Amino acid sequence: MKLKVFKFGGASVKDAGSVKNVVSVLKQFPNQKIVVVVSAMGKTTNALEKLTDDFVLKNGNAKTILEEIKKYHFDIIGNLFSNSTHPIYSEVKNIFSDLEIKTNKLSSDSYNKEYDQIVSQGEIVATKIVRAYLNEVGIKNNWLDIREVIKTDSTFREGKVNWELTEKLVGILNPNQQITITQGFLGCTPDNFTTTLGREGSDYTASILAYCTNAESVTIWKDVPGVMNADPKWFDETKLIDQMSYQDAIELAYYGATVIHPKTIKPLQNKRIPLYVKSFLQPEKKGTVINDQHSQLPIPCFIFKVNQILLSISPKDFSFIVEENFSDIFKTFAEHQVKINVMQNSAISFSVCTDNDEHKIPELIKTLQKNFRVLYNENLELITIRYYNQPTIDRVCIGKKIFLEHKSRYTVQLVVKNV
């Protein structure tokens, strides 16, 4: 029997009712071997980020934030387990006690490393609770610490997978039980420090496990019917895409479609493993399948990214910008772990749009200014349209000032600001 990999995100385990719904989904797949990848519950990752920042910046709110996170999880536990002496209470209590000790030792000198040690606990707690509840309702399962399987380098907050070692260790995924519960988003360095795989990295975890086990399929369970042609938060009339190719999925994820993590698709494409995106609210519906069938999407797809910054970089002596400059610029971006969302160059300048990360961008600009003139605009929005036409461009530019426009055969990207 081939393995299936299921991934449940934060929204699908955000409260007791959602955890019970995970049970309902799993019961539709009896006698099948399934690895269940679980994200932190609800907005826990955001809360743990805030906790980490507060300790580093010493704002004095850390104790309150930690208590709120604890209360949130114990409220879920209280609604799942009627027996107040159930072992899950002490298990989760111990995790939070350890977390408090870790946060008190935080050092601002290694923010990315400290971030991974703290933020990773959201997934650990979530999987402990889900594992315990499944056992409570008679669904026997095996709990796996994913850090024993996925090995990475020491690039904290963006761990790069050691594929050879990870494949070798994946034999751990052969439990007696048919269902294995494990964490998304996490990996481990050779020195046994926790790493994270980038925000929304639980999808990538599911893809890694599927690749290493030659799984039958991966299913990402979401609170939407499948992959839509636009985020419903931005568009009133969105349409479900029944099927798309790996290539289109990679393009959409690369440009920022939040329904799929950018790194998710390639390992699946390499082994032609289909990816399903389905609704955990309506698990009987087909959703979207992403596979190797090549067909152009029938409708334009819209992707919006907010909190963008546009950097204009040029030589200090007003000379032409040449290959040597590009080499230095790209090296600087790589050293600061800043991803470029869109770029464009002219004879004397190089323009780059990226996420305005408050921890990375100020240092990036400071380093670039040693050798270049750097101008920038903040509070921008990046709009990407896959399979665009002029009416679609006109539609999204109403009330906007365009700072940069970049077109290719199938895709247009627009850096804009409200006017």
- Give the percent of the chain with pLDDT over 90: 77
Tokens of 10: 């934060």
Query: Given the DSSP bridges, would you call strands 301-315 and 350-355 parallel, antiparallel or unpaired?
Result: antiparallel
Closest CA to 354 of 322, 306, 321, 400: 306
- E strand or H helix that includes residue 202: helix 202-213
pLDDT in tens, 204-224: 999 999 999 999 999 999 988
Task: Domain ranges for the chain, please list them.
Answer: 4-291, 301-418
Mean pLDDT to the nearest integer, 246-253: 89
Task: Give me the mean pLDDT over the 226-253 stretch.
Answer: 87
**Domain covering 4-291, topology:** Carbamate kinase (3.40.1160)
Q: What is the mean pLDDT of the chain?
A: 92
pLDDT digits (tens, 9 = 90+) for 294-350: 877 888 999 999 999 999 999 998 888 888 899 999 999 999 999 999 999 999 999
pLDDT digits (tens, 9 = 90+) for 366-388: 999 999 999 999 999 999 999 99
pLDDT reported for residue 175: 59
Average pLDDT over residues 356-360: 92
How many whole angstroms separate alpha carbon 129 and alpha carbon 201? 20
* Cα 336–chain centre separation: 19
Tell me the per-residue pLDDT of 269-303, one tens digit each, with 9 for 90 and over.
999 999 999 999 999 999 999 999 987 788 899 99
E strand or H helix that includes residue 372? strand 372-386
pLDDT in tens, 134-172: 999 999 999 999 999 999 999 999 999 999 999 999 877
Token pair belonging to 146: 């994913």
- When mean pLDDT is compared over 241-255, 257-271, 300-314, the highest value belongs to 300-314
In this prediction the pTM is 0.85
pLDDT at 176 over 70: no
Report whether CATH 3.30.2130.10 matches the domain 301-418: yes
pLDDT band (50, 70, 90) for residue 390: very high
pLDDT at 91: 97
Dist. CA 304–CA 160, nearest whole Å: 27
Higher pLDDT, 68 or 232: 68
Q: Is residue 106 over pLDDT 90?
A: no
Per-residue confidence (pLDDT) for residue 174, from 0 to 100? 63
